[in-house]
Amino acid sequence: MPAGMVAAVSAAAMLMTGGGPVPGDVQVVRAEADFAPPSAFVVSDAKTYDLDLVPAGAHIKVTQAAGDSGNVVTLQVDGLKANRAYGVHVHQKPCGTQPDDAGGHYQNRVDPVQPSKDPAYVNPSNEVWLDFTTDGKGEGVAASRHGWNFRPGEAASVVLHREQGGAGDRLACFSVPFAPTRA
């Protein structure tokens, strides 16, 4: 496992417990890929829809640690446009050939009105927001911790948006096999 991913997993475990030992069982999901256009000859789980802001060959790593105390998702990227802010959220469906194929944001408390625009539901406490700003090399990291876990089959991707905060145009998508709440 690359050193950066070991650090991300360690950071996820530390975030879940406030720095102490991890109580109970923790499920760890690790996924990484290089971005490619949906029409690329070599299929990738990471799809770029905007080659200027998320170039083909840019790399993404996502780690999730899910346990009794909640859920931590970490993200690392490299090869993106340097010194630029990106919005990132966990979405409901896997990536597809079109940006909207990933569905809406995963919400712990689901807004009964879809698409969701109500700030009572669209916020970093109810959704997984992984906004970041790349450095001069086009690298970025983010982490999000919540006291809840994903429902089975309802979180399937990470979408990079043009703007930080609630949403914005979808630049890229990475399908991730997130771990749901254990029974």
pTM of the model: 0.87
The model's pLDDT over 69-103, given as tens digits with 9 standing for 90+, comes to 899 999 999 999 999 999 999 999 999 999 999 99
Q: Report if residue 180 sits inside a domain.
A: no
Q: Report if residue 60 sits inside a domain.
A: yes
The 3-state secondary structure of the chain, one letter per residue: CCHHHHHHHHHHHHHHHCCCCCCCCEEEEEEEEEEECCCCCCCCCEEECCCCCCCCCCEEEEEEEEECCEEEEEEEEECCCCCCEEEEEEECCCCCCCHHHHCCECCCCCCCCCCCCCCCCCCCCCCCECCEECCCCCCEEEEEEECCCECCCCCCEEEEECCCCCCCCEEEEEECCCCECCC
Q: Report if residue 52 sits inside a domain.
A: yes
Quick one: pLDDT at residue 165?
86
Q: Report if residue 26 sits inside a domain.
A: yes
Residue spans of the chain under pLDDT 70: 1-24, 181-183
Quick one: pLDDT at residue 173?
98
CATH code assigned at 79? 2.60.40.200
Q: Report if residue 39 sits inside a domain.
A: yes
Quick one: pLDDT at residue 7?
45
Q: Report if residue 181 sits inside a domain.
A: no
Q: Report if residue 182 sits inside a domain.
A: no
Give the count of domains, the chain: 1
Q: Report if residue 12 sits inside a domain.
A: yes
What range defines the domain where residue 25 resides? 3-175
In this structure, what token pair is assigned to residue 176? 């991730």
